[in-house]
């Protein structure tokens, strides 16, 4: 549920950049939000030294038994995310933001691994061209659209994802989600 909060005059809130001026998402309890923040910070702190360890210890090359399956699986996941995004967008459903965010990550991973696993010469040039000309631009477009979809509606317009609830003074206090865009 989105609730209108009233920032102090002249003071902005750091979440306003993505959530729209004056609106923020309050579906998580403070305890759940705190646990999620701690979990994210913990994973980050664990992965930094782990990545450094892997960079020093992994071999520069290896033989992979299921190479075709790995790449095919990645492409199928990209197709599923793109298809889900198209279907949800066709239904004017804001939940397309989730599949678009997934598609963004998959496209960036595809570009990264294409370039990093390409052999020198023509293969590397093709991988870089595909990354710069197709995968990364599509990832940027998907990310931009996802951010647009999760952003709160303009305060002067009707809510794009539900009906307003108003307090006694007529101020918008909440939104009843419908999941559909208007």
Q: DSSP letter string over 113-134?
A: HHHHHPPTTHHHHHHHHHIIII
Out of 13-22, 36-45, 107-116, 147-156, which region has the weakest mean confidence (pLDDT)? 13-22
- Residue range 88-143, pLDDT digits in tens: 999 988 899 999 999 999 999 999 999 999 999 999 999 999 999 999 999 999 99
- Name every residue whose Cβ is closer than 8 Å to that of residue 112 and which is 6 or more positions away in sequence: 131
pLDDT(23) > 80: no
pLDDT single digits (tens) 2-14: 444 444 444 444 4
pLDDT of residue 151: 80
Q: Decide if 142 contacts 155 (C-beta within 8 A).
A: no
Domain extents for the chain?
1-58, 67-151
Give the separation between CA 39 and CA 53, rounded to whole angstroms. 21
For residue 167, the model assigns a pLDDT of: 60
The whole-number pLDDT of residue 28 equals 77
The C-alpha atoms of residue 102 and residue 108 are separated, in whole angstroms, by: 10
Residue 69's pLDDT band (cuts 50, 70, 90) = very high
Q: Are residues 21 and 155 in contact, defined by beta-carbon separation less than 8 angstroms?
A: yes
The structure's pTM equals: 0.66
The Cα 3–Cα 167 span in angstroms is 12
């Amino acid at each position: 549920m989105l609730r209108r909060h009233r920032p102090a005059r002249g003071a902005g809130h750091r979440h306003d950049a993505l959530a729209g001026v004056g609106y923020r998402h309050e579906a998580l309890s403070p305890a759940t939000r705190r646990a999620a923040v701690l979990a994210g910070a913990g994973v980050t702190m664990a992965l930094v030294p782990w990545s450094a360890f892997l960079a020093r210890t992994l071999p520069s090359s290896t033989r992979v038994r299921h190479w075709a399956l790995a790449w095919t699986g990645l492409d199928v996941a990209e197709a599923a995310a793109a298809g889900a995004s198209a279907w949800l967008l066709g239904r004017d459903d804001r939940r397309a933001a989730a599949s678009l965010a997934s598609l963004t990550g998959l496209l960036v991973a595809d570009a990264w691994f294409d370039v990093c696993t390409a052999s020198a010469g023509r293969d590397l040039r093709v991988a870089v061209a595909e990354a710069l000309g197709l995968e990364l631009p599509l990832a940027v477009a998907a990310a931009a659209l996802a951010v647009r979809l999760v952003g709160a509606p303009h305060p002067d317009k009707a809510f794009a994802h539900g009906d307003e609830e108003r307090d006694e003074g007529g101020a918008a206090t909440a939104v009843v989600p419908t999941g559909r865009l208007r």
